[in-house]
């Protein structure tokens, strides 16, 4: 096996960028990322240039196809950012396809039990650590670098489980005890929905669930605590960091675009309203 130095093989082939993210999470550093729900390649390029540590291609709540996902993964990776994929479900075939496309890891939605966490880990890893079927695609250098990929996969691939149901909160200790789970991410909307209080993030039951998540997570310091801060408000991100979360998803491309458009239009219309009655020379 050829040596790996600083994430590169002696051949000069660059490994998937996940090795950087995994090492940072193990050290307890904050890693800031975001969500991509719009499939245009320029969108991924713009997001990658913004300074995020990682970007997730969202296949659960978007119309992005597997073909488009591969292109987005390629752009993110070539930009030096860690490419992750939020798969539509905890399905071994879906996980296999995005990993073969070159994802550094997966974010798996609605993982509610330790058995479901084990299934997600197994779908990412080759035997004997897992059950993923072996193929030769972009991730394996189209067949030229299969052995190197096997070594990288066993040590550096990332499995992030989403905690977004009250059942998952009740089973959190078992879920975070599963070998191969590198981190979790709280999905606040679905978690509140499972409590019958959709979107009510300050409700007593929601606060109680989040407190329990923080309590259990503190007992598993090698598993990164994550949270998806959906509103594009930096102060909410810093609040979550103060609460101990270090794998932070900051909003989504779609929300960034919508918020920027709305705030700009509102500011312009507000200014027009204030100046409508002024003489032209005073409006200059």
Q: What is the mean pLDDT of each run of 10 residues along the chain (284 residues)?
A: 40 53 93 97 97 97 97 95 97 98 97 98 97 96 94 94 98 98 97 97 97 98 96 96 97 97 95 68 52
Give Cα 141 to chain centroid, integer Å: 24
Select from 210, 254, 251, 253 the least CA-distant residue to 233: 251
Instruction: Give me the pLDDT at residue 241, please.
Output: 97
Alpha helices, DSSP H only, in 218-284?
Answer: 234-242, 253-275, 280-283
User: What percent of the chain is helix, strand and coil (3-state, nearest 5)?
Assistant: 45, 15, 35
Catalytic residue from among 13, 40, 61, 220: 61
Which residue's entry shows tokens 């918020």? 259
Instruction: Give me the pLDDT at residue 18, please.
Output: 58
Instruction: Give me the pLDDT at residue 20, please.
Output: 78
HSE (CB half, 13 Å, CA atoms) of 84? 30
Instruction: Give me the pLDDT at residue 4, please.
Output: 43
- Tokens found for residue 240: 């979550």
Instruction: Give me the pLDDT at residue 74, please.
Output: 96
Catalogue all structural domains in the chain, each as residue range(s) with its CATH number.
14-283 (3.20.20.60)
Catalytic annotation on 13? no
Determine the length of the chain. 284
- Tokens found for residue 93: 């075939």
The pTM of the whole model exceeds 0.85: yes
Strand segments, DSSP code E, in the chain are 4-5, 8-9, 31-36, 54-58, 82-86, 105-108, 158-163, 183-186, 224-229, 247-252
d(CA 202, CA 190): 14
DSSP for 202-215, written as a single string? TSHHHHHHHHHHHH
Is the CB of residue 131 less than 8 Å from the CB of residue 168?
Answer: no
Judged on CB neighbours under 10 Å (0-12, 13-18, 19+), 143 is exposed
- Tokens found for residue 215: 């309590």
């Amino acid at each position: 096996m050829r040596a790996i130095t600083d994430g590169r093989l002696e051949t000069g082939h660059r490994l998937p960028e996940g090795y950087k993210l995994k090492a940072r999470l193990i050290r307890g550093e904050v890693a800031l990322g975001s969500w991509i729900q719009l499939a245009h390649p320029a969108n991924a390029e713009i997001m990658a240039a913004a300074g995020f540590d990682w970007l997730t291609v969202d296949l659960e709540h978007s119309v992005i196809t597997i073909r488009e996902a591969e292109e987005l993964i390629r752009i993110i990776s070539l930009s030096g950012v860690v490419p992750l994929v939020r798969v539509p479900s905890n399905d071994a075939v879906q996980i296999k396809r995005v990993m073969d496309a070159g994802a550094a890891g997966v974010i798996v939605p609605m993982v509610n039990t330790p058995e479901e966490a084990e299934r997600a880990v197994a779908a990412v890893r080759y035997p004997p650590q897992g059950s993923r079927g072996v193929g030769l695609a972009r991730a394996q250098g189209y067949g030229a670098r299969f052995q190197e990929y096997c070594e990288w996969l066993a040590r550096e691939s990332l499995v992030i489980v989403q905690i977004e149901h009250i059942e998952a909160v009740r089973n959190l200790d078992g879920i975070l005890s599963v070998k191969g789970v590198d981190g979790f991410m709280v999905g606040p909307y679905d978690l509140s929905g499972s409590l019958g209080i959709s979107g009510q993030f300050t409700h007593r039951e929601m606060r109680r669930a989040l407190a329990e998540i923080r309590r259990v997570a503190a007992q598993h310091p090698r598993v990164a605590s994550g949270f998806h801060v959906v509103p594009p408000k930096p102060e909410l991100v810093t609040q979550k960091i103060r609460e101990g979360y270090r794998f932070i998803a900051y909003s989504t491309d779609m929300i960034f675009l919508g918020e920027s458009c709305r705030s700009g239009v509102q500011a312009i219309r507000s200014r027009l309203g204030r100046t409508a009655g002024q003489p032209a020379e005073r409006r200059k």
